[in-house]
Chains A and B, each alone.
Chain A
Amino acid sequence: MKVTFPHLGNAYIPLEALLQGLGHEPVTPPLGSKNTLEWGSRHSPEDTCLPFKIVLGNMLEGLNLGADCIYMLGGWGPCRLGYYGEIQRIILEDLGKDAEFITLEVPKGNYSLAWERLRKIFGPAKAGKFFGGCLLFWAKLKVLEEMETLALKTRPRERQKGSTSKLLQQQLKRLQDLQSMQGIEKMRLASKEAFRDLTDSSLPTEILRIGLLGEVYTVVEPFANLQIEERLGYLGVEVVRTISLKAWIEDHIFKNALGLYNLKKLKSSAKGYLRGFIGGHGLESVARSVDLAREGFGGIIHILPLSCMPEIVAQGILPEVSTKEKIPILSLVVDEHSGETGFQTRLEAFVDLLQRRQQTLCPTKKKVYT
């Protein structure tokens, strides 16, 4: 089957490997663009959130490239993501698109349907190839994360503006084509070197650090957050992303499905602010902001799509965290009308404020401007 799937950051690279291992032909939709969003929002219900619209756009573009099957994540609430697949299936059906729609979720109740789905997913798989695909998937995911983290560290310290992003894109392209574990390992080591070469060693090692957290899709998908990581990097800020794809897949998909996902640590961090799980990444947002504040971060940027239910609660609680833990927090709401210039201005103002604040708090540190 020709399978397409929505984008989530750079997850398409490991996903392609996994799908090939399953014996499918992956059809990766083009990366998010204005066209994607326009298409997606034209056919979406008006007040669904930005991720829904981009995801629907991805699906439509994937189908246009000749895919005949769509994979989408599902779930059973309380976040809306759980029902997105079903609504998107209805919308595509109404548009007359003749495609198989497979929602990946823990079956509840309807087991015959779940069996049918499993057969379709694993039907063409051969044991050896599937195993290889899984290994590749995991290895690529790990290397991908590592490179992204490296890029976040390197960008504010690069000698030539834009060189980090360029290198990252090159490496990602190479990673996509690699088919052997040895090759991936070799590439991992090589890219570590390459990133180090870009660094300007004359800059002080300690520069302003900002934690990025919020709703997983808007944090991970650069198209949804208007490349916030790059923008901050160019402003001379080291961005630390508290949400990683790998951890998300481990925690929210595997462990959650098996009932092993443990909130104890998060709950103890969020103590006094939020009592428990509120769906999506709401608890994480609050807990991680407290953690980051205690780790001595310069500031926090909380990013969420308009009308995201769990994050609104987090957004309401974060000002309290900000006052009590003494850390500036900026909540950014994104939707399809977010303007780039306004976004940039707000980021610049926030970073200015943080740099000045850090200077007053600890004047010994050298001021960093790029």
Chain B
Amino acid sequence: MRGCLTIQKVGIPSALYYFYYHPLWRCFFAELGLEPIFSPPTNQEILARGLSSCVDGACLPVKAYVGHCQTLAEQGLELLFIPEIISLFKGEYICPNFMGLRDLVKQYLPPSIRLLSPVLDARKGRGAVSRAYWHMGREFALLPKVKRAWRRAVSEQQTFVLAQQAQLAESSSSKRLNILLLGPRYLVDDQFLNGNLSEKLGLLDARVFTAAQLADVVSWNANSMLSKRLFWTGARRSIGALEHLTKRLDGVITMAPFGCGAESLLGTVIDQRIKANHLGKLELNIDEHTSELGMLTRLEAFCDLLERKKVL
């Protein structure tokens, strides 16, 4: 592959962990001399494609992911980046559905497509994740170049993360309600799958906090206070955000894809906190049959209730 004159293109589906790591991936591949091609944001066509092929037990974001991969394959890309993420932090896992994602997606794609899938497993010790990326990059460039690309990509990612965390400090007292939106980011940030939730909340004059606005340190501390530590990264971040922001909140909205395993258990832990602090809570379970209008009604009702509670 090395020494090709034309720039090789690599397709990256804009779903699931794209929402966490897109600056990293974009920069890393660009620095390696490849052209990263992202699939368009989720739309009806992409989702329909995923729904028609993916196994029906999978959750909505996974189905959308399959749709994204197929869209990229149809664009004629021969190389797809589908990382196999097992763990992002020591002693933690992400959803088991994503561990076999590569093998699940593989059968829905034409066999000519090559998959780039480094195994990212932070449980294997410090540096295991970077080494996995380096190993993948060695195919396209020499090691020093790969390492340089990796350093740049990491600093890009850092800027992105810090920019998000800076949103927390912004003062916007003009909004009437403060709402914490919890849930996996590939649902909370995907405007199509969640039916434009954050914009709707904005129109209802609510300020939305998310778990991404907090540093991991905060949630690690909160997690260690639990009687049993949560071992899913997403769940740990959610509980951390709830603990940290409780005093500033009026209500909490939890959002989960239908059938999401981790979120169903997390709900009980969140309920405990919410009851203790007398907050309002709205639970949204999203699947392919969720209607945007029905959701709007529920959001309006929820915000009305919160406001009434505030006056009392």
Which residues of A approach B to under 8 Å, CB–CB? 45-49, 74, 76-80, 82-87, 89-91, 94, 103, 108-109, 273-280, 282, 304, 306-317, 319-320, 333
Are A279 and B227 in contact, with the CB atoms below 8 A? no
B269 touches A306 (CB 8 A): no
Asked whether A86 lies within 8 Å of B232 as measured between CB atoms, the reply is no
B209-245 CB contact bits vs A (8 Å, 1 = yes)?
A: 0000000000000001001111110000000000000
Instruction: Output the residue of A74, A86, A315 with the most chain B CB within 10 A.
Output: A86
Contact at A309–B95, with CB atoms within 8 Å?
yes
Known contacts A77-B93, A78-B93, A282-B96; A313 and B267 CB within 8 A of each other: no
Closest to B232 in A: A77
Q: How far is the CB of B238 from chain A (nearest CB, A)?
A: 14
- If A47-B264, A275-B84 touch, does A313 touch B100 (CB 8 Å cutoff)? yes
Q: With A86-B228, A333-B57 in contact, is A310–B260 under 8 Å at CB?
A: no
Closest to A316 in B: B55
Q: Does B103 contact A (CB under 8 A)?
A: yes
Interface residue? B296 (CB, 8 A): no
The reply to whether B58 and A316 contact each other, CB–CB distance below 8 Å, is yes
Cross-chain pairs A/B with CB under 8 angstroms, 10 sampled: A47-B260, A49-B261, A85-B228, A87-B265, A276-B99, A309-B96, A309-B262, A314-B100, A315-B57, A317-B103
Structural contact, B229 and A77, CB atoms closer than 8 A: no
Per the bound structure, the CA–CA distance linking A320 and B231 in Å amounts to 31
- State in angstroms the CA–CA spacing of A108 and B176 once bound together: 43
Establish whether residues A78 and B104, one from each chain, have CB atoms under 8 Å apart when the complex forms.
no
Shortest C-beta distance, B177 to chain A (Å), equals 26
Q: Which residues from chain A contact B261 at a C-beta distance below 8 Å?
A: 49, 80, 307-309
B272 in contact (CB, < 8 A): yes
Q: B residues within 8 A CB of A108?
A: 91, 229
Interface string of B84-97 (1 = CB under 8 A from A): 10000001111111
B224 vs chain A, min Cβ distance (A) = 7
Q: Distance in Å from the Cβ of A189 to the closest Cβ of chain B?
A: 43
Contacts of A46 in B (CB 8 A): 264
- Decide if B58 touches A45 in the complex (CB within 8 Å): no
Across chains A and B, the number of contacting residue pairs, with CB separation under 8 Å, is 122
- In the complex, what's the smallest C-beta–C-beta distance from B189 to chain A, in angstroms? 22
**B174 interface residue (CB < 8 Å to A):** no
Give the chain B neighbours of A109 by CB distance below 8 A. 224, 229
Contact A313 B96 (CB under 8 A): yes
Q: Is the CB of B100 within 8 A of A274?
A: yes
| Interface residues on chain B, number (Cβ under 8 Å) | 39
- On whether A279 and B93 interact (CB within 8 A), knowing A77-B231, A312-B55, the answer reads yes
Nearest-neighbour CB distance to chain B for A173, whole angstroms, equals 37
Contact B55 A78 (CB under 8 A): no
Q: Mark B265-289, 1 if CB is under 8 A from A, else 0.
A: 1011100100000000000010000
Taking A109-B224, A312-B58, A313-B96 as contacts, is the C-beta distance between A319 and B264 under 8 angstroms?
A: no
> Residue B40 at the A interface, CB < 8 A?
no
Q: Does B107 touch A at the CB level, under 8 Å?
A: yes
List B residues 181-216 near A (Cβ within 8 Å). Answer: none
User: Would A47 and B258 count as touching, CB distance under 8 A?
Assistant: yes
Q: A277's contact among B99, B259, B267, B268, by CB below 8 Å, is which?
A: B99
* Chain A residue contacts of B269, Cβ below 8 A: 87, 90
Check B96 against A280 for contact (C-beta < 8 Å). Answer: yes
CB-based contact B264/A45 at 8 Å: yes
Q: How far is the CA of A331 from the CA of B97 in the complex (A)?
A: 17
Please measure, in the bound complex, the distance between the C-alpha atom of A315 and the C-alpha atom of B54, giving whole angstroms.
11
Who on chain B is nearest to A324 by CB? B107
Which residues of the other chain, B, contact A45 by a CB distance below 8 angstroms?
A: 264-265, 267-268
Q: In the docked arrangement, what's the CA distance between A274 and B95, Å? A: 16
- Residues in B neighbouring A83, C-beta threshold 8 A: 228, 230-231, 265
The 5 closest A-B pairs by CB, nearest first: A78-B93, A279-B96, A316-B55, A313-B100, A77-B231
Give the residues in chain A near B96, CB-CB below 8 Å.
Answer: 78-79, 278-280, 282, 309-310, 313
Cα A310 to Cα B107 in complex, Å, equals 17
**What chain A residues lie within 8 Å of B103 (beta carbons)?**
273-275, 313, 317
A138 CB → nearest B CB, Å: 30
